[in-house]
Amino acid sequence: MSLPVHLVPNLAQTSVGGTVEVEGDEAHHAVVVRRLEVGERVVLTDGRGRSVTGPITSTGKRRFTVEVADLTDSPAPAPDVTVVQALPKGDRGERAVEMLTEVGVARIVPWAAERSVAVWRGERATKGHAKWTATAREAAKQARRAWFPVVDGLTDTTEVVELLASADLAVVLHEDGAIPMASLTVPESGSIVVVVGPEGGLAPAELAAFAEVGVESVHLGAEVLRTSTAGVAAVAAVLSRTRRWA
């Protein structure tokens, strides 16, 4: 059975034989919800590559302490994958974030596409970003990731174009894309960016802006996927051709 994973702010100064104290909501979830007890082993990670494993030595309502028995530093996965996700309606955004986190993306960029049904403004933007961030955090723990994904703030098309221009490989998904996904040459290092459009599809102006920086649209196959599932299918197709999935 896999050990439970909990996120802590910092493990930089941690060493084998030392202790780590976990406080706040994370500790409450472990002690009150999961009912972890003294003697049980857990994994703690800072989400930036360092993880420790060890037994719980003490507990409280909103705190518990772990003795560090093992320490692991994991290199950042390469290539680095970013997904630009157009805002979908309803809870499909959180569903997309959850699956993208599980499949191993490093960065998720919410995008206010021209044809996005959902709109993030003011307080709704703050709440939307908080939901996506929390979803990514919980999915990363479930997937036992040492590196947690970053969820950016809301991005516009100009910023997406800049991101595409700086990538080693840029993939813009489109049902009528001229390039099949299977024909792409995937780099073993560097950065990969995948753009997923909204329910209404990519607007002509967006496709033109992407083409100006040399990015052509690609298609996954004959089927048309939902915006909440297209990204994870594309990332899986890309990663299956790298050492990460070898």
Structural domain boundaries enclosing 92: 80-245
Q: Are 10 and 99 in a shared domain?
A: no
Pairing of strands 217-219, 150-151: unpaired
Integer Cα distance of 64 and 56 in angstroms? 7
Give me the chain's average pLDDT, please.
Answer: 94
For the cut 90, the answer to whether the pLDDT of residue 174 exceeds it is yes
At 2, the pLDDT band (50, 70, 90 cuts) reads confident
- pLDDT for 223: 87
On whether both 91 and 211 belong to a single domain, the answer is: yes
Residue with tokens 């910092």: 10
- 65 and 174 inside one domain: no
- Please tell me whether residues 64 and 85 are part of one structural domain: no
Q: CB-hemisphere CA count at 13 Å for 178?
A: 4
CA 45 to chain centre: 16
Is there a single domain that holds both residue 40 and residue 149? no
Same domain, 146 and 226: yes
State both tokens at 174.
């489109």
Note the pLDDT tens digit of each residue in 119-162: 999 999 999 999 999 999 999 999 999 999 999 999 999 999 99
Q: Are residues 100 and 17 in the same domain?
A: no
Q: 175-215 pLDDT, tens per residue?
A: 988 899 999 999 999 999 999 999 989 999 999 999 999 99
Q: Please say if the pLDDT value at position 93 is more than 90.
A: yes
Predicted pLDDT of residue 178: 87
**The total number of structural domains that make up the chain:** 2
Cα 148 to Cα 201: distance, rounded to the nearest angstrom: 29
CA distances from 37 to 22, 41, 42, 99, 105 (A): 14, 9, 10, 31, 33
CA distance 109 to 156: 10
Query: Residue 191 corresponds to which tokens in the numbers above?
Result: 């950065």
If you average pLDDT over residues 226-238, what whole number do you get? 95
Whether 115 and 165 share a structural domain? yes
21 and 97 in a single domain? The answer is no
Domain's final residue, options 73, 104, 131: 73
Mean of pLDDT values over 71-90? 96
- What is the Cα–Cα distance from 36 to 5, expressed in whole angstroms? 12
Do 116 and 134 belong together in one domain? yes
The DSSP 8-state label assigned to residue 99 in this structure reads H
Of 73, 96, 125, the one marking the end of a domain is: 73
Residues 68 and 87 grouped into a single domain = no
